[in-house]
Structure 1
Amino acid sequence: MEIYLKTERLTLRELTAEDLPLLTELHTDPEVMRYLESVMPTEDEVRVHLRNMIAYYALGQQTGYWAALDERGRFLGWFLLRPDKDEPRPGQLEVGYRLHRFAWGQGYGTEGTRALVDKAFAELGADEVFAGTMAANLGSRRVMEKSGLTFRRVGHGDWMRDLEGGDQGGVRYAIDRAAWSIGRNG
């Protein structure tokens, strides 16, 4: 398993097929999925998702999904750094995360997101990094703000209709290279 990135408390490594039980536990926790899915995925659906996550590594672009482990090697969830899956644009990358409840409020989301934002600009040549969540997901919004991303817009989509807080829509946060550089040097 290749290590993608290390921070003070986190190791981000490639996902493998052996991670299926860990991912299934994460993706079938109703609280974790509260703003993401109205119906919990089956293990077979998680298996397909994991296969798609692993497929990013073959692209050789240093983007994709990464298992997040704490200092003791405990699986916390995953982070992503990838081109927008719906409307990819050169120089633009999406950052995201999905963490177990026991990892919430511990600073792992912010630590991992900051490190990925830094990598996107310093090593991958990104011009902009963005993230999105449901407007009602205040915890995720705080992670984005603490990571230096700023609110950009609210959007609505049919997929949100059945989710908690779906009537409030989704939000997008972003940071561009200039703002990142100022924040890093200022």
Structure 2
Amino acid sequence: MTSPVPPVLLETARLVLRPFTDADAPALLALDNDPEVMRYINGGRPVTAEEIRERTLPRLLHDHPCTGTRGFWAAREKATGAFLGWFELRPLAEDDPSVVELGYRLARAAWGRGYASEGARALVRKGFTDLGARRVTATTMAVNTASRRVMEKAGLTFLRAYAEDWPDTIEGSEHGEVEYVLTRERWEARQA
């Protein structure tokens, strides 16, 4: 018996975004065990298959009834079907779709090819046109210039810098975090 193919959330010129399934665990394990991918997440610390099964997958498989989506999507390259990583657009409050968080984690092989910006722009559009979002927010470490560039290319602008008290200090965390935002009104004005 084969498992059902998950529905596609959206397609871009080069990407297919679809909900995660349990079968994605090996790809997630490989992604989260690349020290460079995880540099600004956990300092590059390795993760176990058990952590993927017990912590990561439940978060990625969680349904958000207020948007009718899961909030996290596996990203595949349209031309080859290769797993590239994931994108996030999930509500910050479980029962309110008005403020959503944008995020992404891509394999190193996908870096520098415009995939993050392409997927982020498509999700911002989907959030404002289909999911009821009024505001998109995104955060990263202040020193993560690549992620900040993606936020800007997706139309978000710098809102604030702030300090976060993390349980484990990682290189660069002493410089704090940054938040970027985009409102529906501002996005609509740019579309005109």
* 2:81 pairs with one of 73, 79, 82: 73
- 1:21 corresponds to: 26
C-alpha separation in 1, matches of 2:145 and 2:125: 23
**What is the CA distance between 1:61 and its match in structure 2?**
2.2
**What is the CA distance between 1:40 and its match in structure 2?**
2.6
One-letter amino acid of the counterpart of residue 5, structure 1:
L
**Is 1:47 equivalent to 2:48 in the alignment?**
no
When the two structures are superposed, what TM-score results if normalisation uses the length of structure 1? Answer: 0.92
C-alpha separation in 2, matches of 1:58 and 1:94: 16
Two-structure CA RMSD over aligned residues (Å): 1.9
Q: CA 1:139–1:67 in structure 2 vs 1: closer, same or farther (change >3 Å)?
A: same
- 1:140 corresponds to: 147
Q: CA 1:124–1:89 in structure 2 vs 1: closer, same or farther (change >3 Å)?
A: closer
Name the SS for the 1:164 alignment partner.
coil
* 1:165 pairs with one of 169, 172, 184: 172
CA contact (8 A) 1:160 1:167 kept: no
**What is the CA distance between 1:147 and its match in structure 2?**
0.7
Alignment of 1:5-20 (within 5 A): 5-20=10-25
Alignment of 1:111-130 (within 5 A): 111-130=118-137
**What is the CA distance between 1:159 and its match in structure 2?**
1.1
Q: CA 1:130–1:25 in structure 2 vs 1: closer, same or farther (change >3 Å)?
A: same
State the Cα deviation string for residues 3-49 of structure 1 (Å, max 9, x = none).
11111100001111111110000011110000001333221111121
**What is the CA distance between 1:62 and its match in structure 2?**
2.0
Alignment of 1:48-63 (within 5 A): 48=54, 49-56=56-63, 61-63=68-70
Q: CA 1:90–1:75 in structure 2 vs 1: closer, same or farther (change >3 Å)?
A: closer
**What is the CA distance between 1:93 and its match in structure 2?**
0.5
**Aligned length in residues:** 184
**What is the CA distance between 1:157 and its match in structure 2?**
1.4
One-letter amino acid of the counterpart of residue 42, structure 1:
T
Name the SS for the 2:186 alignment partner.
helix
* Mean Cα deviation higher: 49-58 or 5-14: 49-58
**What is the CA distance between 1:58 and its match in structure 2?**
7.0
CA contact (8 A) 1:57 1:63 kept: yes
* Matched-pair identity in %: 47
* Mean Cα deviation higher: 139-148 or 150-159: 150-159
C-alpha separation in 1, matches of 2:152 and 2:189: 16
Point out where structure 1 has 5 or more consecutive residues left out of the alignment.
none
**What is the CA distance between 1:183 and its match in structure 2?**
1.1
Alignment of 1:83-102 (within 5 A): 83-84=91-92, 91-102=98-109
Point out where structure 2 has 5 or more consecutive residues left out of the alignment.
1-5
